[in-house]
Structure 1
Amino acid sequence: MSIRSSRFLRGVVAVLATAFTTATIGVVSATPASAAVNTSPSFLVVYNNNIENWLPASCADDKIWSRLVNYIKGRPLSPDIFTVQQVSNQTQLDTLTRYLSDQLPGTYAGQIAIANPGSMGYTSTCGKLKNQQTNAVIYRSDRFTYEDATRWRSDAPENYNTGTGPCQNLEPTSSSQDRVHNIAIRLHDNIANQDVSVASIHWPTNTWYGEQCAAENIREADEAMTRLGGTLKIVAGDANTGPGTAGWWNDAIGFGYRDPIAERCGTPHCPPEHNTLGSRRIDYLLVKSGNGFNNAGTISTSLTGGAYSDHLAVAAYVNY
C-alpha cells in the first residue's frame, strides 16, 4: 500500500544525525591508497553506479571510470557490494572484477543478468557509450559466499511506442533493451553469519514510456527480494525516473524500504547536488533493514576529479 511521503519523513531527523554531507566525504588524495576491507559484522559498505562510460578496451575512454575507483581508494573502507548497470557482457564484468581486485583491498566476483546481451543497434561498439548493456551485482568473494540468483525483465506499457496498454515485460526489440534485464542475488556473509539479498535494476527510459510502469517495477523488485529472502535486502540501480512518478517511491517505502539519500535530504526531492543524471535524481540505493544506515552520499565529479560516467554513484554504510 502506498503511503504519504510526510509519514516517512517523521523519523528523518535521527538518521540525519549520522549521515555525512557531500563536503565531508573528502576529495581524492595524491597520497597512497588508504582504503581497507570492512571486517565489521554490523554493516556493509555498498556502492551503486550506472557505468555507461566503462567502454570496451578498444574505445579511447575505456578507463574514465577509474576516477571513481581512485576516489574509493582514498576512502576508509572499500566496497563490500557494488551494483552496476549497463555493463557490456560477461567478459567486461570479468575484467571489472579483476580490476577492482587489483586496485582495492578485497577480492571481487560478480553475477550478471545476461552473459551476452543483444545489440543496442549501434554501428560501433563505442557508440552511445556501449553497444551491449545489462546489469550485475559485484561482491567481495573474500567475505561472501554466493548462494542463489533470480532474474526478471522490467515492465513498460504493452504498446511501448505509444505508451498505451497494461504494463508488461519489455521484450527485446530492434534495440535489444537487455539493459532492462534485472538480477538479484542472495549472499551469505561469512563475517556476520547473515544472508543478504541484493538487486541491480535498470528500468526503461521515457522512450519506452517506462515511467508509467515504475510502480509495477518496484513491486516486482520487492517480489524478487522476497523470493531470495535474507536478513538484509538492498535494491539499487537506475530507475530512469524521479521519486514522484506513479507513486513508486511511496510504494517502496510501504514495502519497508528506506532511501538513505532522501533521509539525508529530509525529502525524497533532494537538492541539485544529489541529482544523478543531469537535473534528475534517478539512481537509487534502497534498503530494507531494521537498523538503517549511515555515511550516505552522492559521489560528485568534484570529488573524483572529473566525470567518471554519465551517472553519479551513490553509496552508504548499510547496517544489519
Structure 2
Amino acid sequence: MSKHLLVTGGAGFIGANFISQLLKHSNYYITNVDAFTYAGKIENICEFENSDRYRFIKCDIANSTELSIAFDQKYEAIINFAAESHVDRSIYDALPFIQTNVYGTFNLLQMVVAGKANKMIQISTDEVYGSLKPTDPPFTEETALAPNNPYSASKASADLLVRSYYQTHQLPVIITRCSNNYGPRQHGEKFIPKIILNALSNKEIPVYGDGLNIRDWIFVKDHCRAVQMVLEKGKAGEIYNIGGFEEKTNLEIAMAILMQMGKDSRLIAHVQDRKGHDRRYAVDSSKIKKTLGWKPIVPLREGVQQTINWYKQRHKREKVEN
C-alpha cells in the first residue's frame, strides 16, 4: 500500500532538498504545501513536477481554512519544515514568525488529533537552546530552552506546544533540532549564499561584529537523510539533535569560501553586530547516532564546493537571462 506524506514548506531550502531526497530514495507519495513567503521559490520545486508521486498545493499553514484543502486524504506523516526563519527579519517584525511558526504548528497538530495523519515530525533548530560559551559542552536534548531572539523564541514555543500534545493526547510526534544548514537552494540572504553570491560579483561581504561567532555547519543533504531516518525509525515523544560536527567561526567560513573561490579576503567587511547575536551553537548528536545509526557523511569543504558550484551555475543562468 502506498504511503502518503504531507511536507510543509517544501518550496523552501531544506524542505525542497528533503522532497528531492525522498523522490530519489523512497517510494513515498508526497503532497507539498507552501505559502511562498520570502523563502519559498518556484525554482526550488520545478524538478518535481513530472513525478507521479508528487503534488503541490499552495496554502498557508497558519490559515486553517486553506490548510484543510490539503487534507483530502489521510497521511502517514506530516513533516513540518514550514517556518519563517530569518533572525534579522524577526528582530524587526516578529508577527509573521508567531503566525507561521506557532499558530501554523498548532493547526497541524489539530489535524493529527483529528486523525488526518498518523504522526508528525516537527523540524526545529539548535537556536532554541540559546547560546554557548566557547568552553561549554554542546547542547543535548535535555538542555533547557533559552531562546534569545524572536525567531528562536517562536520555534521554542512551537516545540513546547508539540511536547504538550504528546503529554496530553499521547500524540505520535517527534522533534528534530538541527545545526546550521548550508547547500543548494538556500536563500541568498543567508550567510554562506551571501558570501558566494557577493564574491561572484566582487562585492563586499558583510560579517557581523568581530566575526568570531561560532556555528556548527551541516550539509543539507545530511540533514535530510537524518529526517528520513527519524520518519522511518524515530520514537514518538522523542527529540533528536542533528549536528554536522563542523564548528567554525563566521570569519573562518568566509575566509575558507573565498579561498576555494580564488577570491581576495579583503572583500570581507566587518559590520555592526546583530542585536542579541548568540555567540556559539553546537549540538551533541550522539543520541541519533546511537539509536538510529545516522552520522553526517559530507565534509565541510566538499559540501561548500558543491554549494559554490550550484550558485555559480545559477549566477551564470541569471546573467544570460538578463
Q: TM-score, normalised by structure 2?
A: 0.34
Higher RCO (CA < 8 A, seq sep 6+): 1
Q: Which is higher, the Rg of structure 1 or of structure 2?
A: 2
Q: TM-score, normalised by structure 1?
A: 0.34
Higher helix share: 2
